A and B are shown apart, each in its own frame.
Chain A
Amino acid sequence: MMSFFRRMTIEQLGNIFEFAGVIIMLLLALFFQFWLGELPCPLCLLQRVGFIGVAFGFILNFRFGFRPSHYSIILLSALFTSFVALRQVALHVIPGTGAYGSPIFGMHLYTWSFIFAMLIVIITAVLLGFDRQYKATEPSSRLWLYIVRTLYVVMVFIIIANLVSVFLECGFHECPDNPESYSLTL
């Protein structure tokens, strides 16, 4: 297993590292929602959409090979996420305006979301500069294919979880600005 990771190129490692970070952010959001009972606001949901868009680009890289168009999807999604997160930070940055959700290590999820989205932009901009990844490569190993399939299943699960939670929270109406309970229950 360690020899497999040692044989990986920096682009593969970078993609895996960033994708893992995005999945952790999305799972953390689901943890806050289902275990701590902190329902996501519309801006929070849009940030989740952005991160799923970022993960979408990485899955394209893993499935079809590394291409500039896939990195373009990643960058656009990360920029969208950063704009939405920055909007939410701006809503609460003035002292006395309150905050949304519980802080992690002193900063709220939307602040971490902005930081992480900008990190994705920077790291992705570096990664897409490696030209060798766009040339024809040798067939992928079985372990790599197994990892790609597992990541794909994880991503499908996360999207379905978010889809169900949005439906329960909002139904067929506009999502409330400060949700305190689900509008529908199973």
Chain B
Amino acid sequence: MFIMFIFLLLLFGVLLIGLGKRIQAIYVCIASLFLATVVFLHDITDIVGLSL
């Protein structure tokens, strides 16, 4: 489910680019990368322990 949310964030970010909102789009992209990192860490370690 979180992966779907990441794709939604990326879609939102790309739409922000289309609207000319550069800084907001960059923030959204960084947020999606951060979320993807959390998901990856959960996948490899289970230390994060989120209920995905």
Contact = CB atoms under 8 A, between A and B. Distances in A.
Chain A's interface size range is 35 or more
Nearest to A76: B33
A49 B22 contact: no
Contact of B1 (A63, A64, A76, A170): A170
Interface residues of B, number: 28
A45 B17 contact: no
Contacts of A155: 14
B11 A156 contact: yes
Contact of B3 (A60, A83, A160, A175): A175
User: For chain B, what secondary structure do more than half of its interface residues adopt (helix, strand, loop), or is it mixed?
Assistant: helix
A87 B33 contact: no
B7 A73 contact: no
A46 B3 contact: yes
Interface string B23-34: 001100110110
Contacts of B18: 152, 156
A59 B26 CA distance: 11
B10 A59 contact: no
Contacts of A163: 4, 7-8, 11
Interface string A165-185: 011001111110000000000
B4 A69 contact: no
B7 A87 contact: no
Contacts of B6: 49
Contacts of A63: 17, 20, 22
Contacts of A159: 7, 10-11, 14
Interface in B19-50: 20, 22, 25-26, 29-30, 32-33, 36-37, 39-40, 43-44
Given A53-B29, A171-B1, A174-B1, 14 more contacts: A46-B3, A46-B36, A56-B29, A59-B14, A63-B20, A64-B22, A69-B26, A77-B29, A84-B40, A152-B18, A156-B18, A163-B8, A166-B7, A170-B4
Interface of B: 1, 3-4, 6-8, 10-11, 13-15, 17-18, 20, 22, 25-26, 29-30, 32-33, 36-37, 39-40, 43-44, 52
Closest 7 CB pairs of A and B: A163-B7, A174-B52, A166-B4, A159-B11, A49-B36, A45-B3, A64-B22
